[in-house]
Amino acid sequence: MTPTACPLCEMNDLLAHPDHYECLTCGHEWDKAAAPEAPEAPRVVKDAHGNVLADGDCVILLKDLPLKGSSQSLKGGTKSRPIRLVDGDHEISCRIDGVSVGLKACFVRRA
């Protein structure tokens, strides 16, 4: 039984050697005996104190944070509305003082 796609480029142009496979598109080689990789584990987001955050938690800012594109800043100790975890550079999406913001988890603690 041969694999259907290259694990790197996901193309199905493969060359089968006696002990390994080779992708004709990108040149990646892998062993026939290598087990397929397990699916990626769900992302765990932790606050500054190491507590695991989940959708719907409320968080408190640890320090003053300036808002980009504005002269305002968010004051340390301000509590947010329930958060939503998102992919990307800023892990948290929430509303603080009526403003929608994206925050990094290292600047908050769970309320």
What three-state secondary structure class fits 106?
helix
Per-residue confidence (pLDDT) for residue 6, from 0 to 100: 82
Q: What is the Cα 59 distance to its own chain's centre?
A: 19
Cα 55 to Cα 83: distance, rounded to the nearest angstrom: 6
pLDDT digits (tens, 9 = 90+) for 58-98: 999 999 999 988 888 999 999 999 999 998 889 999 999 88
Per-residue confidence (pLDDT) for residue 37, from 0 to 100: 57
Write down the domain spans for the chain. Answer: 1-36, 45-110
Cα 57 to Cα 51: distance, rounded to the nearest angstrom: 11
Measured in degrees and rounded to the nearest 5, phi and psi for residue 68 equal -65, 140
pTM passes above 0.85: no
Per-residue confidence (pLDDT) for residue 80, from 0 to 100: 95
Fold exhibited by the domain 1-36: N-terminal domain of TfIIb (2.20.25)
Helix (H) or strand (E) holding 21, with range, is strand 20-23
3-state helix, strand, coil in the chain (%, to 5): 5, 35, 65
Residue whose entry in the numeric block shows the structure tokens 């929430």: 94
pLDDT digits (tens, 9 = 90+) for 7-47: 877 788 888 888 888 888 888 888 887 645 556 677 899 99
Kindly report the CATH number that applies to the domain delimited by 45-110.
2.30.30.40
Per-residue confidence (pLDDT) for residue 31, from 0 to 100: 86
